[in-house]
Structure 1
Amino acid sequence: MVFQLNQAIGKVPPNGNPVVANRYGADPYALVFGDRVYLYMTHDALEYDGNGTIKENTYSSIRKIAVISSSDLVNWTDHGEIAVAGPDGAAKWATQSWAPAAVHKVIGGKDKFFLYFANNASGIGVLTSDSPVGPWVDPIGEALILRSTPGVEDVTWLFDPAVLVDDDGKGYIYFGGGVPEGQFAEPGTARVMMLGEDMTSVVGTAEVIPAPFMFEDAGIHKRNGVYYYTYCSNFYDGERPEGSPPAGEIAYMTSDNPMGPWTYRETILKNPGHFFGVSGNNHHAIFQFHDEWYIAYHAQTLSKAQGIANGYRSTHLGRLFHNGDGSIQHVEADYTGVQQIKSLSPYQRVQAVTIGWSAGVMTEFEAAVGDRIVTDIGNGDWIGLSGVDFGSKGAGAFSASVISLEGGGMIELHLDDPAGLFVGELPVPATDGTENQIELKTEVNRAEGIHDLYLVFTGKTGVPLFKLVSWQFVE
Structure 2
Amino acid sequence: MQVIETHTMEEIFERIKPCEAFKMQGNHNPVMTQRFGADPYALVYDGRVYLYMTGDDPMYDENGKLKENTYGNINKINVVSSQDLVNWTDHGTVYAASESGAAKWGANSWAPAATYKKIDGKDRFFLYFANNGNGIAVLSADSPVGPFIDPINGPLISRKTPNCAEVTWLFDPAVLMDDDGSAYLYVGGGVPSPDKASNPGTARVVKLANDMISLDGDPQPIENVAFLFEDSGINKINDKYYYSYCSNFSMTREDEEKHGFEQGEIVTLVSDSPMGPFKPYRPVLKNPEFFFGLGGNNHHCMFEFKNQWYITYHSRILEEAMGMNGGYRSTNIDILDIKDGGPSVSKGTREGVKQLSYLNPYDEVKAVTMSNSAGINTVQYGDDAVLSGSGDMIVSVIKDGSWLSVEGVDFGDEKPFEICMKIKSSGEGAIRVSIDGYDGQAIAYVPVEASGNEDEDIFIALEYVPEGVHDLYFTFAGSDYEVISWRFLK
- Report the TM range for the smaller structure's normalisation: over 0.9
Structure with greater helix percent: 2
- Deviation, 1:76, is 0.5
Question: How far apart in 2 are the matches of 1:130 and 1:367?
Answer: 17
2:113 maps to 1:135: no
Identity rate of aligned residues, in percent? 48
Partner of 2:377: 362
2:194 maps to 1:176: no
1:312-461 counterparts in 2 under 5 A?
A: 312-323=328-339, 325-367=340-382, 371-406=392-427, 408-430=428-450, 434-444=452-462, 445-459=464-478
Question: How far apart in 2 are the matches of 1:126 and 1:141?
Answer: 9
- Deviation, 1:30, is 0.6
- Deviation, 1:316, is 0.4
1:275-290 counterparts in 2 under 5 A?
A: 275-290=291-306
After TM superposition, the structure 1 stretch with the greater mean CA deviation from structure 2, 355-364 or 50-59, is 50-59
Output one character per residue of 1:315-358: Cα deviation in whole Å (capped at 9) or x when no partner: 000111211x2232211100111111110011011111111110
Question: How far apart in 1 are the matches of 2:197 and 2:70?
Answer: 24
> Residues 135 and 159 of structure 2 are in contact (CA less than 8 Å); yes or no, is this contact kept in structure 1?
yes
> Residues 379 and 465 of structure 1 are in contact (CA less than 8 Å); yes or no, is this contact kept in structure 2?
no
- Deviation, 1:435, is 2.5
Question: How far apart in 1 are the matches of 2:415 and 2:232?
Answer: 47
1:13-412 counterparts in 2 under 5 A?
A: 13-182=25-194, 183-209=196-222, 210-241=224-255, 242-323=258-339, 325-367=340-382, 371-406=392-427, 408-412=428-432
After TM superposition, the structure 1 stretch with the greater mean CA deviation from structure 2, 370-379 or 44-53, is 370-379
> Residues 147 and 384 of structure 2 are in contact (CA less than 8 Å); yes or no, is this contact kept in structure 1?
no
Question: How far apart in 1 are the matches of 2:20 and 2:252?
Answer: 44
Question: How far apart in 2 are the matches of 1:396 and 1:369?
Answer: 35
Question: How far apart in 1 are the matches of 2:437 and 2:474?
Answer: 10
Q: Secondary structure at the match of 2:290?
A: helix
Flag the 1:230–1:237 CA change in 2: closer, same or farther, 3 A: closer
Question: How far apart in 2 are the matches of 1:204 and 1:456?
Answer: 56
Question: How far apart in 2 are the matches of 1:364 and 1:114?
Answer: 24
- Deviation, 1:287, is 0.7
Output one character per residue of 1:89-134: Cα deviation in whole Å (capped at 9) or x when no partner: 1111101000000001112221011100000000001011111011
> Residues 103 and 165 of structure 1 are in contact (CA less than 8 Å); yes or no, is this contact kept in structure 2?
yes
Question: How far apart in 1 are the matches of 2:269 and 2:416?
Answer: 51
Paired amino acid for 1:178: G
> Residues 212 and 245 of structure 1 are in contact (CA less than 8 Å); yes or no, is this contact kept in structure 2?
no
- Deviation, 1:12, is 2.1
Question: How far apart in 2 are the matches of 1:22 and 1:12?
Answer: 14
Aligned positions, number: 466
Flag the 1:240–1:104 CA change in 2: closer, same or farther, 3 A: farther
Output one character per residue of 1:269-321: Cα deviation in whole Å (capped at 9) or x when no partner: 01001111111110000111112111110001111100113111000001112
- Deviation, 1:443, is 1.0
Partner of 2:7: none
Q: Which runs of 4+ in 1 moved over 6 A?
A: none
Question: How far apart in 2 are the matches of 1:448 and 1:309?
Answer: 44
Paired amino acid for 1:400: M
Paired amino acid for 1:94: G
Question: How far apart in 2 are the matches of 1:100 and 1:369?
Answer: 21
Paired amino acid for 2:205: V
Question: How far apart in 1 are the matches of 2:259 and 2:27?
Answer: 35
